[in-house]
Amino acid sequence: MKNTFVLLFGLALLAVSLPAQAAELDPKAVVYQLPDQIKWSPVSPAGNQQAVLFGDPAKPGLYGVLTKWTAGNHFSKPHFHPNDRFITVVSGTWWVGSGPNWDPANSSVAMPAGSFVTHFGKQVHWDGAKDTDAVLLIVGEGPATSTPFVAASEMK
């Protein structure tokens, strides 16, 4: 009896001292990327960078991208996209403006983390970041081209 107790006690100690095994997920059911595994593009001259999460924004079909606008008054100029885009502000504050008159200092509206924004297709808007980075999750139907707005008076 004493030997059985010693054996069971030893097995219990061994079980407690072994490192816990991480659960394994079935890749046919779930795939994931941890933050350090997400591949971001280099920061563009406009002050943003992207990471494609799924799909291909350049091709027809559903896509999802993370876009980071870096702090420092980085803004896009007035432009539009062919299709609706659905945007969730993941972190930071994103600043949004609409129409052809580009005036980030006076005509943009703050969208704090947790905000949800729809950019309707073929409607002119502009956006960016002021004093903090802003990370966005953008989901839309490709191709996700961006067409600069050009006023009729500028087309001469």
Quote the CA–CA distance of 73 and 54 in Å, as a whole number. Answer: 29
Q: Are 147 and 130 in contact (CB under 8 A)?
A: no
Give the span between the Cα atoms of 102 and 84, in whole angstroms: 21
Asked whether residue 41 carries a pLDDT value surpassing 90, the answer given is yes
The amino acid at residue 149 is F
Average pLDDT, the chain: 89
pLDDT at 8: 45
Domain-wise residue ranges, the chain: 36-151
Q: What angle do CA 146, 147, 152 make, to 5 degrees?
A: 160
Predicted model pTM: 0.82
Q: What pLDDT is recorded for position 135?
A: 98
The dotted CATH code for 36-151 is 2.60.120.10
Reduce the DSSP state of residue 153 to 3 states and report it. Answer: helix
Cβ contact 151:101 at 8 Å: no
- Residues of the chain with pLDDT > 90: what percent? 81
Tokens of 83: 């299709």
The Cα–Cα gap between 118 and 104 comes to 19
Q: In the predicted model, what is the mean pLDDT of residues 98-109?
A: 96
